[in-house]
Structure 1
Amino acid sequence: MLKSRKKTTLHRPLESLLTARARKVLSLAAEVASSRGHDRVTGGDLVEGLARLNDGVAVMTLRSLRIDVTRFRSAGADLSLITDLARQEAAGLGHRYIGTEHLLLGLIHEHPDVLNLQQARVQVIKVLCGNV
């Protein structure tokens, strides 16, 4: 069953996998990039989108770990790389969707100095299960 979910998550179009909050965060990130006069969205813009949304599993995870989302602001990775990493994280967790938590895990891949990836995964699962 997990293998089937993993394959589904890895091969479906990104837009069909995004939750409403994840779509909103990406939209906010695009607005941030545009307001800065940039034609491409980066991890820093995504972080700003998460901060503006101020809702969702990613924000709850960071709060529970007492980490301010602004610590990721210098993230300069291209958004397409982060969404690819988010897709892999979702598949690895057996999820058929990409939520803010997966976007956060994608960011952490590119910013391991802020938070340990395995620690973040464990905390995301705790938040999803309501154990935080």
Structure 2
Amino acid sequence: MLRKRNRRQPLERLLTARARRVLELAEQEATARGHDEATGDHLLAALACLGEGVAVTTLAGLGVDPGGTRGPAVSAGLGRLTELARQEAAELGHRYVGTEHLLLGLLHEGGTAALGVGLEQAREQVVKVLRGHAP
């Protein structure tokens, strides 16, 4: 019997160390706030806390401070956001899920209002950062 070659890998195997750390920080943030589930708001706070990585560099290039955002809550849970991040990674042709993909998943799920940047604009900036053309 032939195995399918393009089976989806478990998300845990695709996450970069920094992306795993951001997700851990988001969970800790949710717990600290007394929330049952970590959401996009916690993910954004985790990115601000981490203060480094492609997502943070992307936001800086777009003139956004992840720690200073105001706007409607991003209530989608981390499960939904990480699945969107996986899809974003696949669309960009990446075989990993990094902080940049988590950011794009967040924007895909309504974070554009909270951050004031569009999904396409962020995708373009991610590509610039990855190519080394960002500030």
Match of 1:43 among 40, 45, 68: 40
Instruction: Pick 1 or 2: higher relative contact order, CA cutoff 8 A, min separation 6.
Output: 1
Identity of aligned residues (%): 56
> Cα deviation per residue 1:72-104 (whole Å; 9 max; x = unaligned)?
672211111111110000000000000000000
Gaps of 5+ in 2: 1-5
User: Residue 56 of structure 1: CA displacement?
Assistant: 0.2
**How big is the alpha-carbon RMSD for the aligned residues of Structure 1 and Structure 2?**
1.4
Larger Rg: 2
Match of 1:71 among 65, 69, 72: 69
Alignment: residue pair count: 124
Amino acid at match of 2:23: L
1:115 equivalent to 2:117? Answer: yes
TM-score normalised per structure 1: 0.88
Match of 1:54 among 51, 60, 76: 51
1:1-40 matches, within 5 Å, as 7=6, 11-40=8-37
Q: Which residue of 1 aligns with 2:84?
A: 85
Distance in 2 (alpha carbons) for counterparts of 1:88 and 1:76: 19
Residues 106 and 35 of structure 1: is their aligned pair in 2 closer, same or farther, counting only changes over 3 Å?
same
Name whichever structure is richer in helix by fraction: 1
